[in-house]
Amino acid sequence: MTNTENLFKGFVKENPLFVSVLGMCPALAVSTSLENALGMGIGVFFVLVLSNLIISLIMSNEKLAKLVKPVRIPVYIVVIATLVTIVEMVMHAFLTPLYNSLGVFIPLIVVNCIILGRAEAFAASNKPLDSVLDGMGMALGFTGALAIIAVFREFLGAGTITIWGSLSLELTGVFDFIGITPIAMFVQPAGAFLSFGLILAAITAIGNKRTEKLAKGAIK
Amino acid sequence: MNKGLKSGLVLLVLGVISGTLLALVNSFTSPLIAKIEAAAQYEALKEFFYDVEDPNYDTFIFTEDYGLVKLEVDEPGVEAIFIIKTKGTDNIEALGYLAYAYGNDSDVPITMLIVVESDMYITGYTVVSHKETPGWGAAILDNNFGVTTLIDLTGFDSVAGSTLTSDAIEECFVIVAARASDDFGGGLDD
């Protein structure tokens, strides 16, 4: 696989959220606003890239890999937990509103399936550069997917899109024009599942159409 | 050397490196976090005692008439007590409890500031820190839990969908209720 393929496969083809359906719990919980989604994305990016790099460095050394192999899962967890704790402490000190807003889902990055999944499935058997690119691609794909769900939910549920801090788009005019009020359910837990289902259905439909077109083209 | 022992040693070395790294990060983030937490407590106090716009709180402009002492308490459930005294006297006007609780089976604490007067009437309360679900769970911040006095907490009204947090908040009231009358009766002198 080329470097470009390693980087971009996480965006659409192997998107962790929409294709592999991994890391659902934090994704649904924090996608109440775009700001939360971006904050979680930054945290996951830092942890995923560095954990992939460290694990790949450990496993690419033959002698070290032999020693680590029987205890590789505890090793992965120690690495990931350390990185997540650093993210938590730094966020608490420098990005307090975001830290308060993301709440318990920052420490829960430790048990995010995407991070452990990439460590075991990719970083453990690939070179450090490839692993870093894979981590970057997966994290950006995850952040993009989170942002799509967040924009969908926040717009329909509150009529706004909070970009960062006090910077937000006020879109209640759209609802006024139609003559309805924002549907608060979309920023609640049930709305998270509904939004995710609708977006996933739309993506699957587009994918199926594309496959159909490609198949028709191949037959001709 | 035994293979298992070698793997264990690798894990130990990794743990030591991780611990050192975390200690390093903690050394420069913890003073900032302490400052942020102190500011949050101050903001919470201001909600009750600097509200000059509200005639109900006219008597609590303690910059002029009242003094405030913060007492650090090393007891389960209570982090600190703010003692509000009339200036120049020993009369305690109110006590502000910085109480924390975890709720059923939760390992994430909720910290509340609960301000009580000597007749056990609750002047006010506010959530100082929480780790609730973003959006939905944050409803606890401005919620009226339906309690006005520590003598009767039966009217406590939970927030639907935030059961653990509501339990923790109720626990904070119970903790404060258990010690407030003693504290007003001279318990703080000990």
Q: Kindly report the length of chain A.
A: 220
In this model, does residue A84 exceed pLDDT 90? yes
Separation of alpha carbons A136 and A120, rounded Å: 16
B137 and A105 in contact by Cβ < 8 A? no
Confidence of residue A106 (pLDDT cuts 50, 70, 90): confident
pLDDT value, residue B132 = 66
Residues of A in contact with B22 (CB under 8 A): 82, 85-86, 89
Q: Is B10's CB within 8 Å of A103's CB?
A: no
- Span A158-186, average pLDDT: 83
Return the residue matching tokens 């308490």: B73
- B66-121 pLDDT, tens per residue? 666 777 787 888 888 888 777 667 777 788 888 888 876 666 788 888 888 888 88
What pLDDT is stored for residue B135 in this prediction? 56
Q: What is the residue-averaged pLDDT of chain A?
A: 88
Residues present in chain B in total: 190
* Pairing state between β B110-117 and B122-129: antiparallel
**pLDDT at A53 (0 to 100):** 95
Residue of B nearest to A92 (CA): B33
Higher per-residue pLDDT: A84 or B46: A84
Give me the pLDDT at residue B47, please.
66
Taking an 8 Å cut-off on Cβ atoms, the answer to whether A78 and B22 are in contact is no
Find chain A residues with C-beta within 8 A of B30's C-beta.
89
Asked if residues A152 and A158 have their Cβ atoms less than 8 Å apart, the reply is: no
Mind telling me how many Å the CA of B82 is from chain A's nearest CA? 24
Backbone dihedral angles phi then psi of residue B133, each to the nearest 5 degrees: -60, 130
The confidence score (pLDDT) of residue B54 equals 37
Query: For A13-67, what is each residue's pLDDT tens digit?
Result: 888 888 888 888 888 888 888 888 898 999 999 999 999 999 999 999 888 888 8
Question: Which chain B residues have a beta carbon less than 8 Å from that of A89?
Answer: 22, 25-26, 29-30, 33
**φ/ψ (deg, to 5) at B164:** -60, -45
Separation CA A4–CA A74 (nearest Å):
31
Helices and strands (H, E) in chain B, number of each type: 2, 5
Name residues of chain B where pLDDT drops below 70. 1, 42, 45-68, 87-88, 104-107, 131-142, 160-163, 189-190
For A113-163, how does the pLDDT look when each residue is reduced to its tens digit (9 = 90+)?
889 999 999 999 999 999 999 999 999 999 999 999 999 999 998 888 888
Maximum mean pLDDT: which of A102-116, A121-135, A172-186: A121-135
Looking from the CA of A71 toward its CB, the CA atoms found within 13 Å total: 21
Chain-centroid distance, C-alpha A30: 11
- The helix/strand/coil state of B150 is coil
Residues A136-170: b if buried by 16+ CB within 10 A, e if exposed: bbbbbbbbbbbbbbbbbbbbbbbbbbbeeeeebee
Query: B163 at the A interface (CB within 8 A)?
Result: no
Cβ–Cβ contact B24 with A under 8 A: no
Domain residues of chain A, as ranges? 3-219
With an 8 Å Cβ cutoff, is B34 touching chain A? Answer: no
Cα gap B45→B50, rounded to integer Å: 8
A78: nearest CB among B15, B28, B138: B15
- Coil, strand or helix at B100: strand
pLDDT band at A107 (very low <50, low <70, confident <90, very high): confident
Q: Is the ipTM of this complex over 0.95?
A: no
Q: Which residues of B touch A94 (CB under 8 A)?
A: 32
Structure tokens at B58: 């006219």
Question: Contacts of residue A109 in chain B, CB cutoff 8 Å?
Answer: none
B66: helix, coil or strand? strand
List the single best residue of A25, A32, A35 to mutate versus B (max B Cβ within 10 A): A32
Mean pLDDT of A199-211: 90
A36 contacts B7? CB cut-off 8 A: no
Size of interface A-B (CB pairs under 8 A): 85
What the block records as the tokens of A204 is 């699957």
Residues of B in contact with A187 (CB under 8 A): 135-136
pTM metric for this prediction: 0.74
Interval A181-201 mean pLDDT: 89
Q: So what's the pLDDT on residue B55?
A: 35
Of B21, B19, B12, B16, nearest to A67 (Cα)?
B12
The two tokens of residue B85 are 């005294």
Give first-to-last CA distance, chain A, whole Å. 30
